[in-house]
Amino acid sequence: MQGTIETILSRRSIRSYTSEPVERTKITQILEAARWAPSGLNNQPWKFIVVQNRNSIDELAACTRYSSIVKGASLIIVVFLDTSEMYNHTKDAQAIGAAIQNMLLACCELGLGAVWLGEILNNKEQVNLILKAPESLELMAALAIGYPRGPTTTSSRKELTEIAFEELYGNQWR
């Protein structure tokens, strides 16, 4: 098992999967990681719908231009903001982001590949219809998850000197 920093640095968005199903114990671990994310006032404003049924996955795939990624996954976790639990939309959306990041890191540590799909938000009404989600659930993202097919890709990031400043904007981090 690797440490938190190593998991963060090694995690990549994986878009191609084998057909092997994800074990229920691993799905539970992913959901546990999500529910322990921080949230303002500890309101835990999230709801998750776990989708493994092939017909449902195909229906969700039709809601995004990344349909091949969705169709290739053996597991989709659809993430919602429960507006009935909400107290501040921005803070609660940030909490949802933390929950999603926790799930992505859990997937990496469990040997799974995952990618955060946001473009599906363009068809949020259709997603809610497919999943019979009430209007109080606002679609935030879908995670495509499965066992990775092929080697992990590499990634790059901007240098800290481009994005971090000391004390005042413009005082470049050294």
Q: Which CATH superfamily is 4-163 part of? A: NADH Oxidase (3.40.109.10)
Question: Which segment of 14-28, 74-88, 110-124, 144-158 scores lowest on mean pLDDT?
Answer: 144-158
Q: Where are the domains of the chain?
A: 4-163
Helix, coil or strand: residue 39: coil
pTM: 0.94
Which DSSP string do the residues of 91-136 spell out, in sequence order?
A: HHHHHHHHHHHHHHHHHHHTT-EEEEE-GGGGGHHHHHHHHT--TT
- How far is 152 from 84, CA to CA, in rounded Å? 39
- Contact assessment for residue 36 and residue 42, using Cβ atoms and an 8 Å cutoff: no
pLDDT for 22 equals 98
- How far is 97 from 105, CA to CA, in rounded Å? 12
Percent of residues, the chain, with pLDDT higher than 70? 99
pLDDT for 155 equals 85
pLDDT for 1 equals 59
Q: Give all strands of the β-sheet with 113-117 in edge-to-edge order.
A: 46-51, 75-82, 137-146, 113-117
